Structure 1
Amino acid sequence: MSLLQWLFVLIVFVVAYYLIISGKFNRSTVAFAAGIIILLSKIIPDFDMKELGYLVDFNTISILIGMMIVVGTLRTTGFFEFIAVHVVRVSKGNVRALLIFFMVTIALFSAFLDNVTTILLFAPIIFLVADALEVSPRVFLLAGVLSANIGGTATLIGDPPNILIGSASGFGFMDFLRIDGPITLIALLITVIYLDRKVFKDYRSMGDKLQRLASMDPNKAIVSKPALYKSLAVFFGIIAGFLLHGLIGIEPSLVALAGAAAAMILNGKSFSSLSEDIEWDTIFFFMGLFVLAFALQEVGITSFISGLLGTLSGNRVVLFLTLYWLSAVMSGFIGAVPAVTFMIPVIQGMTANYGVPVEIWWVISISACLGGSFSIAGAAANMVGVGLIEKHSKESLKYGDFLRFSMPVTIMTLVAGTAYILLRFSL
């Protein structure tokens, strides 16, 4: 590749990421347009649209679409409202206990759903609680966002970066649960303790305002029990398929799509009726990033970076720490998904050419998922949560406001992740 092509791809990449970070344009539109510019420029030689599957990771796209459809069918049954009302009742008017329950519940749901969907499902309940307490929902929803990002770290399908890493590395659902699960629990515990002592303590005297919510009947939230049972059966069937995909020889992407088809047939749904439940912005964002990442690989930029990092391969501790914090910082400021999309070919080059152990995949998995909590731009759930707060309460939440809330927790969890990586893989 010529220097001109190298510079062209680098400029497209930098400009696209600047526009994504600045928030001046819709990030999915920017990423998709950047991908189209790359294709139109003929940087990828002899490219034909029939070869699009080589550029775009449809394993990742299929898992996302399949799970979004299944979650959409569950949403229509009232299942998530049922769970949320139960959480309110279990707290018995204790606001601090309620907020901790919310964090744990959101983290648990986020491990099996995508972060954005989890926030969208729990946001109305959080707003209901905040309105009952006559306070701003900012603290409550931001705590939920951090919990969603942490909970999503635990599994293959919980956070988009893990879906990307799973597809690139070949690691399965149980691999992520076994490796990322322990640090997820540690990070969640750190977050809960910190927020309870520094933030939630201010709400300890407001419990009497929750009595009306605590008296609600959660069973009234269920719209249709037959639909609920069928949707839950499909959902747990998908989870079983993820757990056993290595034994049955069926890829997780196909399991997710099969579950989506079953959910629609059993509940009489169509693609058009569930179209609003599919985060099309996320899908097209990924497609644009895949093309950008392929172009970076094609012109040799990722190979160059692999070579630089490969010089550290003789010292495992230094390599892991360098990659961990590089990935964390990139994820925090340009986004976890863009950072991982960029890092995947770098890691592939290092493992293929420099003998770097495959455990390095867990380094970027943990650092990207935890680091994504750092800023508004770090994860899609962050941007969605901020947008919901501003829409509901008509208050502006700036980049610095989010940073002040998230920074202490993110740094503490990243430090815990560093210790975990060193103890498990480097010593």
Structure 2
Amino acid sequence: MQWLFVLVVFVLAYILIISGKFNRSTVAFAAGIIILLSKVIPNFDMKEIGFLVDFNTIGILIGMMIVVGTLRTTGFFEFVAVHVVRISKGNVRALLVFFMVTIALFSAFLDNVTTILLFAPVIFLVADSLEVSPRNFLLAGVLAANVGGTATLIGDPPNILVGSASGFGFMDFIRIDGPITLIALLITVVFLDRRVFKSYRLMGDKLQRLASMDPNKAIVSKSSLYKSLTVFFGIIAGFLLHDLIGVEPSLIALGGAAAAMILSGKSFSSLSEDIEWDTIFFFMGLFVLASALQQVGITSSISDLLGSLSGNRIILFLTLYWLSALMSGFIGAVPAVTFMIPVIEGMTAKYGVPMDVWWVISISACFGGSFSIAGAAANMVGVGLIEKHSREKLSYSDFLKFSMPLTIMTLAAGTAYILVRFSF
């Protein structure tokens, strides 16, 4: 009956996470501890924790958070944001489109949560200057961040998980996920411009004060900026070449973090606020839950069930795509991918399902995560920032009404892409 106990813990954890009444990272971490204390995993010893928790994923997250933290202190992101405002020349629609594209680009090379945290203050500044609610602007930014993060290994947590499990590298993600990300971004920008941005087209005169700001004044120290950018681009180069140099992405990210701290003179304690500890412990709890599901045979049963479709690759891929998308949308992209990884591993090993199946999960999870507040960490962070800044309550259904049409369109584009790319 061990499988029943694990399944009950798993389901209860996700009910509590979706309810929003408890901190999601606390719930996931506590569920993982309950699993370990229950001895469901036979002969487990804490010395073997590395077999349960994917420290390659954890290392990438912590390393990139530290590097972004050092870069943030230089004023670089404010510098970029002010330039975007000036480029628009008072055209609000152009400004918002620039913001969406910029946010998507940054999300690809940072991560969507960090990008939203960095750009939210500027979005609020623009909304306050226009004397309108920031809700639509920041929600649009969240959706653009989720799309942009799909393009690379480090852009969205589901991709970090997929990359670690599959062995695919940074360039593989750009090569496979990059094209559909560009298509989805175009759909996102056009849709948001027609549905949201056009209603602000006559407010350009209110942006004159922002447009007159000097972006160079945002830079705290040019020397620190150059050092931080050198480290950042060095990490990206390392990701691109990691197959050739034989170094795992996590070591590259952590090495870059060490270099960034040495060059900036920062310590772990001074950068602790830049590390999203909730995300780290959320991942750790989920890894233990996923391992328990695998140990008691639940994931292998699902692998066998889906493996019966392996005779028709297209039907299998589309079934996995929409199953993963719906799970990602309503229980969260990270939990969905964490659950699906052992299922996919079982299918590739036992039924000879091609490795292309990993891209199905990557695309569907990243796009599907935009469905609801619970779908992605960036969604929850964005909603929290809106409520804190403007004191307006944003319900689950409010987010769903804003996000669902666009999410369905991007998922449909992803479906067509998979049919074209992997059916021959």
In the superposition, the TM-score normalised over structure 2's length comes to 1.00
Q: Deviations over 1:220-264 (max 9, x none)?
A: 000011000000000000000000000011111000000000000
Q: Deviations for 1:190-213, whole angstroms, at most 9, x for unmatched residues?
A: 011011111111000000000000
Q: Deviation digits for residues 84-123 of structure 1, max 9, x if unmatched?
A: 0000000000000000000000000000011110000000
Identify the match of residue 6 of structure 1 among 3, 7, 10: 3
1:426 to partner: Cα distance: 1.6
Name the counterpart of 1:112: 109
Q: Which position in structure 2 is the counterpart of 1:44?
A: 41
CA distance in 2, matches of 1:198, 1:336: 26
Aligned ranges for residues 178-257 of structure 1 at < 5 Å? 178-257=175-254
Matched, 1:370 2:367: yes
Q: Distance between the aligned counterparts of 1:279 and 1:114, measured in 2?
A: 12
Partner of 2:89: 92
Query: One-letter code of the match for 2:264?
Result: N
- Matched ranges for 1:17-416 at <5 A: 17-416=14-413
Q: SS at 1:254's partner residue?
A: helix
Deviation for aligned residue 1:364? 0.4
Per-residue CA shift, 1:253-302, capped at 9, x if unaligned? 00000000000000100000000000000000000000000000000000
Q: Runs of 5+ in structure 1 lacking a partner?
A: none
RMSD (Å), alpha carbons: 0.4
Q: Distance in 2 between matches of 1:204 and 1:240?
A: 40
Shift of 1:358: 0.3
Give the whole-Å Cα distance in 1 for the aligned partners of 2:4 and 2:239: 41
1:250 counterpart SS class: coil
Distance 2:408 2:90 in 1: 32
Question: Counterpart amino acid of 1:81?
Answer: E
Residue identity matched to 1:394 = R
Give the aligned residue type for 1:305: I
1:198 and 1:335 map into 2 onto residues whose CA distance is 26
Q: What secondary structure does 2:203 align onto?
A: helix
Secondary structure in structure 1 of the residue aligned to 2:269: coil
Partner amino acid for 2:279? T
Following TM superposition, the consecutive aligned residue runs of length 4 or more in structure 1 with deviations greater than 6 angstroms are: none
Q: Shift of residue 218 of structure 1? A: 0.1
Q: Report the alpha carbon displacement of residue 373 of structure 1 after superposing the two structures with TM.
A: 0.3
Distance 1:290 1:361 in 2: 18
TM-score of the aligned structures, taking structure 1 as reference length = 0.99
Number of equivalences: 424
**C-alpha separation between the residues in 2 aligned to 1:37 and 1:426?**
43
Report the 3-state secondary structure (helix = DSSP H, G, I; strand = E; otherwise coil) of the residue aligned with 1:346. Answer: helix
Report SS of the residue matched to 2:270.
coil
SS across alignment from 2:310: coil
Q: In 2, distance between residues paired with 1:382 and 1:333?
A: 12
Q: Which amino acid is 1:158 matched to?
A: G
CA offsets 1:324-378 (integer angstroms, 9 cap, x no match):
0000000000000000000000000000000100000000000000000000000
In the TM superposition, residue 305 of structure 1 has moved relative to its aligned partner by 0.2
What letter is aligned with 2:383? V
Aligned-pair CA distance for 1:24? 0.9
1:272 aligned counterpart, secondary structure = helix
The percent of aligned pairs where both chains have the same amino acid is: 87
**Residue type at the aligned position of 2:70:** T
**Cα distance in 1 for residues equivalent to 2:413 and 2:286:** 30
| Amino acid of the structure 2 residue aligned with 1:163 | I
Q: For the residues of structure 1 that align with 2:15 and 2:178, how far apart are their CA atoms? A: 33
Unaligned runs of 5+ in 2: none
